[in-house]
Structure 1
Amino acid sequence: MLISLRIENFALIDQLELPFGAGLNVLTGETGAGKSIILDSIDAVLGGRITGRAIRTGAGRAVIEATFKLNLDLSAWLELQEIDSLEDDWLVCSREMTLSSSGVRSRSRVNGVLVNKQQMEELRDRLVSITAQGQTVQLGKATIQREWLDNFGGDRLLHQREQVSAAFSQAQSALKALEKRRQAESQRLQQRDIFQYQAKELAAASLGEPDELEQLEQERQRLGHSVELQQQSYDVYQRLYQNEAGGEAAADLVGKAEAILQDMVRYDPQVQPILELVSGALAQIEEAGREMSAYGDDLDTDPERLQEVESRIVELKQLCRKYGPTLADAIAHYERISAELAELEGEGQSIEALESAYAKHQAQLRTVCDRLTELRREAAIALESRLISELKPLAMDKVQFQVGLTPSDPSASGADRITFLLSPNPGEPLQPLADIASGGEMSRFLLALKACFSQIDPIGTLIFDEIDVGVSGRVAQAIAEKLHHLGQHHQVLCVTHQPLVAAMADHHFQVNKEVIDPSRASAEAEQEDVRTVVRVSQLDSQQRREELAQLAGGQSAQEAIAFADSLLSQANDLRQAKAMPDAAAVLGKPSKARSRSRR
Structure 2
Amino acid sequence: MLRTLSIRDMLLIDRLELDFHPGLNVLTGETGAGKSILLDCLGFVLGWRGRADLARAGAAQGEVTAVFDLPPGHAARAVLAEAGIEAEDELILRRIASAEGRKTAWVNDRRAGAEVLRALSDVLVELHGQQDDRGLLNPRGHRALLDAFAGAGPALAATRAAWRAQSAARAALAGAEAQIAAARAEEEYLRHAVGELDRLDPQPGEEAALDIRRRQMQGAARIREDVARAAQALSDQGAEALMTDARRWLEGAADRAEGALEPPLAALGRALVELSDAQAGVESALDLLDFDPAALEAAEERLFAIRAAARKHQVAPDDLGGFAEGLRARLRALDAGVEGLADLERDLNRAEAAYAEAAAALTALRTEAAGRLDAAMAVELPPLKLDRARFETAVSPGEPGPEGADAVAFTVATNPGAPAGALDRIASGGELSRFLLALKVCLTQGTTGLTLIFDEIDRGVGGATADAVGRRLRALGDGAQVLVVTHSPQVAALGAHHWRVEKRVAGEVTTSTVITLDAQARVDEVARMISGDTVTEAAREAARALLAG
- Normalised by the shorter chain, which TM-score bucket? 0.7 to 0.9
Q: Post-superposition shift, 1:447?
A: 1.0
**1:566 maps onto 2:521 in alignment:** no
**1:150 maps onto 2:139 in alignment:** no
Could you tell me which of 414, 421, 437 is aligned with 1:431? 421
Give per-residue Cα distances to partners, 1:530-580, cap 9 Å, x unaligned. 31111211122222222222222223443xx3234334424534xxxxxxx
* 3-state SS of paired residue (1:135): coil
Moved more, 435-444 or 47-56: 435-444
Name the residue aligned to 1:12.
12
Moved more, 31-40 or 57-66: 57-66
Check conservation: 1:95, 1:108, Cα contact below 8 A. Answer: yes
Q: Post-superposition shift, 1:169?
A: 0.8
Name the residue aligned to 1:105.
103
Quick one: structure 1 residues 338 and 145, their matched pair in 2 at CA, closer, same or farther if it must change by over 3 Å?
A: closer
Quick one: structure 1 residues 376 and 175, their matched pair in 2 at CA, closer, same or farther if it must change by over 3 Å?
A: closer
- State the distance in 2 between where 1:145 and 1:425 align: 23
Could you tell me which of 273, 294, 315 is aligned with 2:266? 273
Name the residue aligned to 2:368.
378
- State the distance in 1 between where 2:378 and 2:430 align: 16
Moved more, 465-474 or 490-499: 465-474
The aligned amino acid for 1:203 is: D
Quick one: structure 1 residues 441 and 21, their matched pair in 2 at CA, closer, same or farther if it must change by over 3 Å?
A: same
**1:441 maps onto 2:419 in alignment:** no
Quick one: structure 1 residues 363 and 565, their matched pair in 2 at CA, closer, same or farther if it must change by over 3 Å?
A: farther
**1:473 maps onto 2:470 in alignment:** no
Q: Post-superposition shift, 1:165?
A: 2.1
Name the residue aligned to 1:537.
515
Quick one: structure 1 residues 390 and 341, their matched pair in 2 at CA, closer, same or farther if it must change by over 3 Å?
A: closer
- State the distance in 2 between where 1:60 and 1:288 align: 101
Name the residue aligned to 1:594.
none
Name the residue aligned to 2:404.
414
- State the distance in 2 between where 1:562 and 1:289 align: 141
- State the distance in 1 between where 2:228 and 2:90 align: 116
Name the residue aligned to 1:166.
158
Where does 1:339-418 land on structure 2 (aligned, <5 Å)? 350-418=340-408
Check conservation: 1:9, 1:15, Cα contact below 8 A. Answer: yes
Q: Kindly, what percent of the aligned residue pairs are identical? A: 31
The aligned amino acid for 1:483 is: L
Where does 1:6-155 land on structure 2 (aligned, <5 Å)? 6-49=6-49, 51-74=51-74, 77=77, 80=81, 89-100=89-100, 103-110=101-108, 112-132=109-129, 134-136=131-133, 138-153=135-150, 155=151
- State the distance in 1 between where 2:98 and 2:440 align: 36
Quick one: structure 1 residues 109 and 150, their matched pair in 2 at CA, closer, same or farther if it must change by over 3 Å?
A: same
Name the residue aligned to 1:261.
250
- State the distance in 2 between where 1:564 and 1:20 align: 26
Q: Post-superposition shift, 1:104?
A: 1.6
Quick one: structure 1 residues 367 and 69, their matched pair in 2 at CA, closer, same or farther if it must change by over 3 Å?
A: same
Quick one: structure 1 residues 290 and 531, their matched pair in 2 at CA, closer, same or farther if it must change by over 3 Å?
A: closer
The aligned amino acid for 1:504 is: L
Quick one: structure 1 residues 240 and 355, their matched pair in 2 at CA, closer, same or farther if it must change by over 3 Å?
A: same
Check conservation: 1:463, 1:492, Cα contact below 8 A. Answer: yes
* 3-state SS of paired residue (1:54): coil
The aligned amino acid for 2:531 is: G
* 3-state SS of paired residue (2:490): helix
* 3-state SS of paired residue (1:72): coil
Superposed CA RMSD: 4.1
* 3-state SS of paired residue (1:33): coil
Give per-residue Cα distances to partners, 1:149-179, cap 9 Å, x unaligned. 23333x4xx2xx4134224314423542563
Q: Post-superposition shift, 1:470?
A: 2.7
Give per-residue Cα distances to partners, 1:12-51, cap 9 Å, x unaligned. 1111111222322221111111111112222122222355
- State the distance in 1 between where 2:424 and 2:454 align: 20
Quick one: structure 1 residues 535 and 182, their matched pair in 2 at CA, closer, same or farther if it must change by over 3 Å?
A: closer
Quick one: structure 1 residues 305 and 556, their matched pair in 2 at CA, closer, same or farther if it must change by over 3 Å?
A: closer
Name the residue aligned to 2:492.
502
Give per-residue Cα distances to partners, 1:463-516, cap 9 Å, x unaligned. 111112233334323322222222222222111122222222222211111122
Quick one: structure 1 residues 265 and 376, their matched pair in 2 at CA, closer, same or farther if it must change by over 3 Å?
A: same
**1:552 maps onto 2:530 in alignment:** yes
- State the distance in 2 between where 1:539 and 1:285 align: 127
The aligned amino acid for 1:421 is: T
- State the distance in 1 between where 2:74 and 2:511 align: 34
The aligned amino acid for 1:166 is: A
Q: Post-superposition shift, 1:407?
A: 1.2
- State the distance in 2 between where 1:281 and 1:557 align: 141
Moved more, 177-186 or 61-70: 177-186
Name the residue aligned to 1:590.
none
Name the residue aligned to 1:487.
477
Quick one: structure 1 residues 235 and 555, their matched pair in 2 at CA, closer, same or farther if it must change by over 3 Å?
A: closer
Name the residue aligned to 2:200.
205
Quick one: structure 1 residues 567 and 355, their matched pair in 2 at CA, closer, same or farther if it must change by over 3 Å?
A: farther
* 3-state SS of paired residue (1:53): coil
The aligned amino acid for 1:47 is: G
Moved more, 32-41 or 426-435: 426-435
Give per-residue Cα distances to partners, 1:168-221, cap 9 Å, x unaligned. 314423542563476368658959978866653333125578323422333345
Quick one: structure 1 residues 508 and 291, their matched pair in 2 at CA, closer, same or farther if it must change by over 3 Å?
A: closer
The aligned amino acid for 2:131 is: G
* 3-state SS of paired residue (1:471): coil
Structure 2, unaligned runs of 5 or more: none
The aligned amino acid for 1:313 is: L
Moved more, 380-389 or 487-496: 380-389
Q: Post-superposition shift, 1:64?
A: 1.6
Name the residue aligned to 2:2.
2
Quick one: structure 1 residues 33 and 314, their matched pair in 2 at CA, closer, same or farther if it must change by over 3 Å?
A: same
Name the residue aligned to 1:313.
303
The aligned amino acid for 2:511 is: V
Q: Post-superposition shift, 1:141?
A: 2.2
- State the distance in 1 between where 2:451 and 2:120 align: 13
Quick one: structure 1 residues 185 and 253, their matched pair in 2 at CA, closer, same or farther if it must change by over 3 Å?
A: farther
Name the residue aligned to 1:451.
441
Check conservation: 1:199, 1:337, Cα contact below 8 A. Answer: no
Check conservation: 2:310, 2:320, Cα contact below 8 A. Answer: no
- State the distance in 1 between where 2:168 and 2:40 align: 45
What is the aligned length? 536
